[in-house]
Amino acid sequence: MDITVVGAGAMGGSYGGLLAAAGNRVRLIDTWQDHVDAINRDGLRVDGAHGEHRLRLPAATQPDANETADVVLLFTDTNGTADAARAIAGILSPDGFVVTSQNGIGNVETLQDILGEGRVVGGSSMCSAATIGPGHVSLTHLGPTSVGEVGGGSSDRVDAFLAALEGAGFPSKPAPDIMAEIWQKFVVNCSANAVAAVTGLRSGEFVDVPDLMDYRVRVVEEVMAVLEAKGITLPDPELIKRICSGGRRMNRPSMLQHVRMGRQTEIDTLNGALVREARALGIPVPYNEALVALLRGRELAQRRAVHEPDLDYDAWEASFTNADAA
């Protein structure tokens, strides 16, 4: 299968690399120049759940306008979904389509608005991955991948893509209702990602702080109240109960990784999106509101620590004092 991966970081790089190792023709697109340069120079290193691979495959920061893509696997940060869709529009073949396996909600709708409804297939991955450095990603947890037509059910193109995933070692299944699967992952991510990013703890460490586990339960209860009001039924409600009961998976959620790197997080398509949905429905969600506010503060602090390590706070404070005096 001919596949272009847009957003070739931890998850996209892991999927793209293993799909290439299985014999598919894969191209990688990512905005991180050092990552792209390392892949083109030394190859992409993928290790973790399926062993270690060093793969030679082309990478670029922008799609090549002279090449067309039959299948685009989209793993970009959700803050860049609209820009990614516009870039994809220029390379999709007449019968080409994009499979989104991003976090959060709203990505499918954004892609459909820009590319057209028939060009978008939904996906949900329960794998975890980490970026180790430029040109090096690790598949840290191998979970199921679900793919389905946005309107429901499977199709020849979905079945072909699922076969490619299975051939690359990803346990995969067709989703009768892929939007329900996307919402289920949304609940999972709302329960963990921002909590990890604010506290600096990995998911498996939450159980060591009983107050934090109680807080996490309140966050999920608010999410479920919104889903009930919207009439959304999750495919596996017991999964949410198992997650809230704790566990010892020591993965680093993507939001924790982004905060540590001083990057903008995906909070607006996760707990931030939940807050917007709740307000529209008149449902109070104070635990999620508090989590979003704290995460925005943590995000700002870490961006300054990473990108402005020499910030002179005394001089900055003096500038405000002088401005007030004037």
Structural domain ending residue among the three candidates 176, 201, 228: 176
Strand ordering across the sheet containing 69-74: 59-60, 25-29, 2-6, 69-74, 92-100, 120-125, 145-149, 172-174
Same domain membership, residue 201 and residue 114: no
Question: What was the pLDDT predicted at 109?
Answer: 96
Eight-state DSSP code of residue 235: S
Question: What was the pLDDT predicted at 246?
Answer: 67
Same domain membership, residue 168 and residue 154: yes
Same domain membership, residue 29 and residue 159: yes
For 71, the token pair is 């299948």
Same domain membership, residue 16 and residue 128: yes
Question: What was the pLDDT predicted at 125?
Answer: 96
pLDDT tens, N- to C-terminus, the chain (326 residues): 999 999 999 999 999 999 999 999 999 999 999 999 999 999 999 999 999 999 999 999 999 888 899 999 999 999 999 999 999 998 999 999 999 999 999 999 999 999 999 999 999 999 999 999 999 999 999 999 999 999 999 999 999 999 999 999 999 999 999 999 999 999 999 999 999 999 999 988 999 999 999 999 999 999 999 999 999 999 988 877 777 776 677 888 889 999 999 999 999 999 999 999 999 999 999 999 999 999 999 999 999 999 999 999 999 999 988 877 76
Same domain membership, residue 56 and residue 40: yes
Number of domains composing the chain: 2
Other CB atoms within a 10 A radius of the CB of residue 179 amount to 17
Cα–Cα distance measured from residue 37 to residue 49, given in angstroms and rounded to the nearest whole number: 25
Assess if residue 276 is contained within a domain: yes
Q: What CATH number should be reported for the domain holding residue 229?
A: 1.10.1040.10
Domain that residue 204 falls in: 181-307
Question: What was the pLDDT predicted at 326?
Answer: 64
Question: What was the pLDDT predicted at 245?
Answer: 72
CA–CA–CA angle 136, 139, 141 (5° rounding):
155
Stated pTM of the model: 0.90
